[in-house]
Amino acid sequence: MANSASPLQRNPLDAQAVLVPVARATPRVSLWRRVRQIGMFILYAIVVVLFITPFAWMILSAFKSTAEIFRYAYPLTIWTFIPPNPTLANFHSIFFQWGFGQKLLNSLIASSAQMIGTLVICSMAAFVFARLHFRGRDILFAVVLLAALIPFEVNMVPLYLVVRSLHLQNTYVALFIPWIANPFGIFLLRQAFLEIPRDFDDAALVEGASPFQIFWHVILPNARPALITLALMSFLWSWNAFLWPLIVMQDQNKQVIQVAIATFTVPQELPAWGEIFAAASIATIPILILFIALQRYYIRGAVLSGIK
């Protein structure tokens, strides 16, 4: 920038370089800038608070007893948020009385299986669509994209009937198997594979590599960012899924955490806010950490697909 250059280097004809420091020297302008800066800072702070508060309320309340949450709701003080007597009782009771550990394990199994299945199946199909030539290939790819147009909510009733007729209801397999042949995943990986220079394949072909060797040794190692994006997104879809597990899993011992947490709220007997907050925090915090660590991968996928 002109301002940071030493005066000797300045071109005297460069009006910007001469005028700007002079203009900034007048106190009125710098005061105005300062006020604007503070104003912007406050605006940013308000935005952050608006988006963080529900999370903060959830996590902080997890360390309060339900009675305490109720007692400090009015009047509004810091104890409405901060636990006056922090306790782990809620965590103890969800794990030792409500079997939350099993639900956590169920979610972990379903999400890991969905992630691995998606990566394997989508990368295979994407390789064929990106690299191999045969008649009818583009029509097949169009068919894949067409499948992406059908929203699950429309299919939920008959999909349940299909899964039932395969005798899969109430199995872990039912939780993830419908989603691993994923048109979005194939589209995302195909884009990434197309960006890998063809010279890499040609060099391997000259050495007598088979299509599988090219897929394994050339394409996959060079598409790592896209594979991470898809791994992260498919894990999150599965982890956050609600309607499908609600429909297909009637065996409460195999139910995933999201459904288990939401049905904690249903019984009308005793409100168990503390336990709900503890369970919700455990289901959410690892996901937020994962997102913050890998957010550039996630956001790339979201922008490319228009899918959360």
Candidates 132, 197, 225, 251; binder of other proteins (CB under 8 A) is 132
d(CA 73, CA 94): 23
Would you count residue 52 as binding other proteins (CB under 8 A)?
Answer: yes
Of 9 and 232, nearer to other proteins (C-beta) is 232
173 in contact with other proteins (CB under 8 A): no
Q: How far is the CB of 7 from other proteins (least distance, A)?
A: 26
Q: With binding defined as CB under 8 A, does residue 108 bind other proteins?
A: no
Q: Which span sits near other proteins by CB under 8 A: 2-10, 25-33, 87-95, 159-167?
A: 159-167
Interface residue with other proteins, options 226, 227, 259, 278 (CB under 8 A): 259
CB of 8 to other proteins, least distance (A): 28
Of the listed pieces 9-17, 82-90, 222-230, 257-265, which binds other proteins according to CB under 8 A?
257-265
Stretch that binds other proteins, among 9-17, 24-32, 152-160, 188-196 (CB under 8 A): 152-160
161 sits near other proteins (criterion: CB under 8 A): yes
Name residues contacting other proteins, limited to 11-40 (CB under 8 A): none
Q: How far is the CB of 24 from other proteins (least distance, A)?
A: 19
Instruction: Dihedral sign for Cα 80, 83, 85, 89, please.
Output: positive
Of 25-33, 87-95, 122-130, 219-227, which segment contacts other proteins by CB under 8 A? Answer: 122-130
Among positions 150, 195, 216, 221, the unique one binding other proteins when judged by CB under 8 A: 150
Tell me how many residues contact other proteins (CB under 8 A): 85
308 binds other proteins (CB under 8 A): yes
CB 221, min distance to other proteins, A: 18
> Which position among 88, 162, 194, 203 is part of the footprint of other proteins (CB under 8 A)?
162
* Rama region for 82: left / alpha / beta (φ>0; ψ in -120 to 50; rest): beta
Q: Is 297 in the site for other proteins (CB under 8 A)?
A: no
Q: Is residue 130 a contact point for other proteins (CB under 8 A)?
A: no
Q: Is the peptide bond before 75 cis (omega within 30 degrees of 0)?
A: yes
CB within 8 A of 280, min separation 6: which ones?
Answer: 58, 62, 261
